[in-house]
């Protein structure tokens, strides 16, 4: 489900910013962007994120600025001495004085390092986790607002589908009679010259018509619709089961398209298929 939240706050002399965005996805994918100095926070943040998010492409962008930066850069003096000694040896060997300016010194790899002591890192993590939790709460609220809109959309679509199926049910007898008419006509056209037991023909016709009856599919669709309503009123994660229910409704509607023998039912089947397609597309947004 799509969602968005952004929180910026000062705590203990540091400015923390957390921005969360998400788009729809059947599974959960988390993208976490944070300054390299705090890369360990990504793994520590996962339990907090997964407690709020079960599905979707989640993008989290975090930034931390503050007083700690004033003591962040630490020179490796021993390494610097080694470089200086090496330069002196080169000067002695080639007999030319080398000038080592500050710019060149800064370009030498690993002389200056970013370092944060464990105690300071834990303090920053405690503050950061508070901001992340607040951002996740706001993000969850934004998704709940969208969730209410989606629920209303599902209720409208399911109500329309239910009305279509009820109308289809009213044509059940007419559809059965039409199938019988078509079957008898086919027998007459193709087997009129073959001597067959009329009683046996009647039995086969009855059995075939029973297999072509749309009543069973209609009953199962009503049962699935009832289950979908229960799921939508549940406080649990129902996205996967709701997806399965809509899939089963689609399966029954496809069977109806084969069994439908009158234009009225066929037209209703087309409308039902359109609604089921919309439901299956949108249910991917639900956890």
Q: What is the 3-state secondary structure (H, E, C) of 18-79?
A: EEEEEECCCCEEEEEECCHHHCHHHHHHHHHHHCCCCCEEEEEEEEEEEHHHHHCEEECHHH
For the entire predicted model, the pTM comes to: 0.61
* Residue 221 scores a pLDDT above 70: yes
Domain boundary assignment for the chain: 3-70+119-143, 73-114, 146-285
Question: What local confidence, expressed as pLDDT, does residue 87 receive?
Answer: 77
Do the Cβ atoms of 55 and 25 come closer than 8 Å? yes
Highest mean pLDDT among 48-57, 72-81, 99-108: 48-57
Residue 270, token pair as written in the block: 């087309």
Mean pLDDT within 268-278: 94
180 pLDDT more than 80: no
Domain 146-285 in the same topology as domain 3-70+119-143: no
The pLDDT score that the predictor gives to residue 22 is 87
Pairwise CA distance, residues 279 & 273, whole Å: 10
Average pLDDT over residues 262-276: 91
Binning pLDDT at 50, 70 and 90, where does residue 182 land?
low
pLDDT at residue 185 greater than cutoff 80 = no
> Could you give the C-alpha distances from 204 to 29, 67, 179, 209, 261, in angstroms and in order?
56, 88, 13, 8, 19
Better pLDDT: 267 or 234: 267
pLDDT higher than 80, residue 25? no
Residue recorded with tokens 């947004």: 285
Question: Does the pLDDT at position 197 exceed 90?
Answer: no
Dist CA 244 CA 267 (whole Å) = 25
Query: Mean pLDDT highest for which of 33-37, 158-162, 190-194?
Result: 158-162
User: What are the residue ranges of helices labelled H in the chain?
Assistant: 40-50, 77-94, 102-107, 118-170, 172-191, 198-211, 215-232, 239-259, 263-282
CB contact set of 274 (below 8 Å; sequence gap of 6+): none
pLDDT of residue 275: 96
Q: Tell me which of 13 and 111 has the higher pLDDT.
A: 13
Question: Kind of pairing, strands 112-114 and 73-75?
Answer: antiparallel
Predicted local confidence at residue 183, as pLDDT: 61
The per-residue pLDDT for 274 is 95
> What would the mean pLDDT of 228-236 be, rounded to a whole number?
87
pLDDT (mean) for 17-45: 88
Q: Between residues 80 and 30, which one has the greater pLDDT? A: 30
Residue 184 confidence (pLDDT) above 90:
no
If one counts every other C-beta atom within 10 angstroms of the C-beta of residue 46, the result is: 12
For the segment(s) 3-70+119-143, the CATH number from 3.40.1190.20, 3.30.230.10, 3.60.10.10, 3.40.50.300 is: 3.30.230.10
Please give the distance of CA 157 from its chain centroid, rounded to a whole number: 21
**Cβ-proximal residues to 152 (8 Å cutoff; 6+ apart), any chain:** none
CB of 172 closer than 8 Å to CB of 214: yes
Non-local (6+) Cβ contacts of 243 within 8 A are 280, 283, 284, 286
**Fold of the domain spanning 146-285:** Butyryl-CoA Dehydrogenase, subunit A; domain 3 (1.20.140)
Residue 208 has pLDDT above 60, yes or no: no
């Amino acid at each position: 489900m799509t969602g968005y939240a952004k929180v910026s706050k000062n705590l203990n002399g540091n400015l923390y910013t957390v921005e969360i965005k998400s788009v729809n996805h059947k599974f959960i994918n988390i993208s976490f962007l944070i300054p390299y100095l705090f890369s360990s926070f990504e793994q520590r943040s996962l339990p907090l994120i997964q407690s709020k998010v079960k599905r979707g492409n989640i993008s989290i962008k975090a930034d931390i600025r503050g007083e700690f930066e004033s003591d962040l850069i630490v020179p490796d003096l021993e390494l610097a001495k080694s470089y200086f000694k090496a330069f002196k040896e080169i000067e002695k060997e080639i007999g030319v004085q080398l000038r080592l300016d500050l710019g060149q010194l800064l370009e030498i790899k690993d002389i200056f390092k970013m370092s944060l002591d464990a105690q300071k890192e834990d303090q920053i993590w405690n503050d950061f986790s508070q901001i992340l939790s607040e951002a996740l709460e706001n993000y969850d609220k934004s998704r709940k607002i969208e969730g209410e809109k989606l629920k209303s959309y599902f209720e409208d679509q399911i109500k329309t589908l239910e009305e279509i199926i009820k109308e289809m049910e009213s044509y059940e007898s007419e559809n059965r009679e039409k199938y019988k008419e078509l079957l008898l006509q086919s027998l007459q056209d193709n087997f009129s010259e073959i001597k067959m037991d009329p009683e046996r023909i009647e039995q086969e016709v009855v059995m075939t018509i029973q297999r072509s009856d749309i009543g069973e599919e209609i009953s199962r669709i009503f049962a699935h619709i009832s289950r979908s309503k229960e799921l939508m009123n549940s406080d649990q994660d129902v996205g996967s089961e709701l997806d399965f229910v809509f899939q089963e409704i689609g399966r029954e509607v496809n069977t109806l398209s084969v069994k439908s023998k009158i234009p009225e039912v066929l037209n209703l089947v087309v409308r039902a298929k359109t609604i089921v397609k919309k439901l299956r597309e949108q249910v991917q947004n639900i956890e």
